[in-house]
Amino acid sequence: MGANSSSISELPENEYLKKLSGAEPISENDPFWNQLLSFSFTTPTNSADLKLLEEATISVCKSLAEKNPRTGNLGSLIKVFLSRTKELKISAECQNHLFIWQAHNALFIICCLLKVFISEMSEEELQLHFTYEEKALGSYGTESEDLIEELLCCLIQLIVEIPLLDITYSISLEAVTTLIVFLSCQLFHKEILRESIIHKYLMRGRCLPYTSRLVKTLLYNFIRQERSPPPGTHVFQQQTDGGGLLYGIASGVATGLWTVFTLGGVGSKPTPQLEQCSPLANQSLLLLLVLANLTDAPDAPNPYRQAIMSFKNTQDSTAFSSSNPHAFQINFNSLYTALCEQQKSDQATLLLYMLLHQNSNVRTYVLARTDIENLVLPILEILYHVEERNSHHVYMALIILLILTEDDGFNRSIHEVILKNITWYAERVLTEISLGSLLILVVIRTIQYNMTRTRDKYLHTNCLAALANMSAQFRSLHQYAAQRIISLFSLLSKKHNKVLEQATQSLRGSLGSNDSPLPDYAQDLNVIEEVIRMMLEIINSCLTNSLHHNPNLVYALLYKRDLFEQFRTHPSFQDIMQNIDLVISFFSSRLEQAGAELSVERVLEIIKQGAVALPKDRLRKFPELKFKYVEEEQPEEFFIPYVWSLVYNSAVALYWNPHDIQLFTMDSG
């Protein structure tokens, strides 16, 4: 960049950057700032270009960090930015492109500097850098002591108050990105930060009154999914000769303008992925997740989490609770639509989880929707493509289903929604199936995948809990869903027999040798028997509560009745087998009376007639199966690394050196 620079590789030698990071103090009123800020640069979005930018500017940033205690140039740059933001709202209304352009450029430089400073020094050292002025080495003034708070507050005001237009899109995005960078100190600590200086600024003082407005704006940014305007339109028109951009409007600003970046910048075609997404929506959602997962202060809860837990629908006219000053209203219909459309990303699924788990207003609204399939189908698709998803994304999707299945109304309604041609379900052509039956199929498929691949007990438990919650409300199960329930039981039965055989052989072998330790088959057997017990309880719950609604399950049960024989006398299953055994005996007898060579249609007809004839009092009643999701103790130990792994992998125009990251290993990220 610079008057004669044309590539990122020349940035370290750029005269303006060298002066900024040099030994000479620069007054905030110096004309130099007009020269420094008169450049055009479309921020790279792919990791390769971002890495190049990082490598090219690291020497400048380190030089400034070294010289800043004497020059105070970081503080001067920030004051220049703060002075220009005071007129931003009027500039947007008056279409003052030049003013917004330079304010954006100042913030872009600040963000680049902060990212390096935060990765290289402690928060205490960073705080000190904001206090240095043009004085003797190591001294600092009193006027600048709250410059961090002033900058943070200014960024929040910029996000919530500046209207989102083509000309303000870039600076709004940069403000969100800079707040993420401010909070990124967590990336460079293995332990969860509980006493962060930046957290304190954001959760009290001048920033606190903006809590609800910031959360609301970030949510609306996610809802609206505004795409980035075409490169260059936020400032100037592109020349048709293809030789870069010439800015007539800025020709009088400085004696030498920085040349346009061509690397990932104006003139390069955006990738199809970038064309289809909204950088501002993505970045806003990431910031929202980071803020919501900040740890509580010793003397006060996290206000951003409070805001997320308590906001209401715009159509809700009930009074706000005086105990929560951060409550606000938002359009739930728009929020629901965005949540349905964006579930392919981890961060959107995590937001949905947080809202369903923490905000009772959202949960009640979602469960009352008559188009619940629009939300459930994307969640099922995540689980169906379990091989392609990271484990955290799968867990979040599964917990969402578990939370939904806690509601009996949901469990009833999903069997009333009939779906046509589920194209992503490849095992079998499903031309017509209820949402409830599809949900059962996908959850069972997830269990089977887990049994053969990951063998995660937590995942097993949550899958079975969701099925158990639904079991009493099973209605008109699709024949394939009924078959898969029994097939899963068959698989578990075979696994049980295999482990039992291994345990027996191991025991026999150990009689002749006292040297080798025995494998812990007892624990394996115990786990499998717990799962088998759960499956029997799910089948029993369906038969006890809705036998006459599920002829296909009875048919599948009769077809594979030999599977259950070995469990009739097993001490762990005798009680739960009573009803299943009774149903098998009752319907087997009726089929024998009807004669041999019965068609499938005739068998189903006999089952339907028998279901009416079977006295309900003959089936033993068991306690209702109900499982409620309970968040683990210290959930921040899971969620904070997860959120920051999403930021690391998904944030637009942000790159961190993986060798510097301390919070998580790159494999888990």
At CA 111, angle to CA 105 and CA 112, rounded to 5?
Answer: 95
Render 183-242 in DSSP notation, one character per residue: HGGGGG-SSPPSS-HHHHHHHSGGGGGGHHHHHHHHHHHHHH-PPPPPTTTTT-PPPTTS
Determine the angle formed by the axes of helices 373-384 and 332-341, rounding to 10 degrees.
Answer: 30
Contacts of 287 by beta carbon, 8 Å cutoff, 6+ apart: 176, 179, 180, 218
Element (H, E) at 648: helix 636-650
Residue type at position 387: E
Flag the least confident range among 324-328, 468-472, 594-598, 627-631: 594-598
| Distance separating alpha carbons of residues 167 and 21, to the nearest angstrom | 29
| Distance separating alpha carbons of residues 635 and 638, to the nearest angstrom | 5
pLDDT tens digits along 574-613: 899 999 999 999 999 999 888 878 899 999 999 999 999 8
Element (H, E) at 546: helix 521-546
- In whole angstroms, how large is the CA radius of gyration of the chain? 31
- Global pTM value: 0.89
**Tokens representing residue 657 in the block:** 């050196």
Could you give the C-alpha distances from 271 to 41, 133, 363, 388, in angstroms and in order? 17, 44, 36, 22
If you count them, how many residues does the chain have?
Answer: 669
Could you give the C-alpha distances from 89 to 84, 168, 235, 249, 521, in angstroms and in order? 10, 10, 16, 20, 69
Instruction: Output the pLDDT for position 159.
Output: 97
Q: What is the DSSP letter of 42?
A: P
Backbone phi, psi, residue 313, to 5°? -70, 145
CB-based contact 158:175 (threshold 8 Å)? yes
Measuring CA to CA, which residue among 179, 73, 69, 70 is closest to residue 125?
69
How many CB atoms within 10 Å of residue 209?
13
pLDDT tens digits along 464-506: 999 999 999 999 999 999 999 999 999 999 998 888 888 788 7
Percent of the chain with pLDDT over 70: 87
At CA 432, angle to CA 427 and CA 433, rounded to 5?
Answer: 75
pLDDT at 67 over 80: yes
Mean pLDDT of all residues belonging to the chain: 85
Element (H, E) at 433: strand 432-434
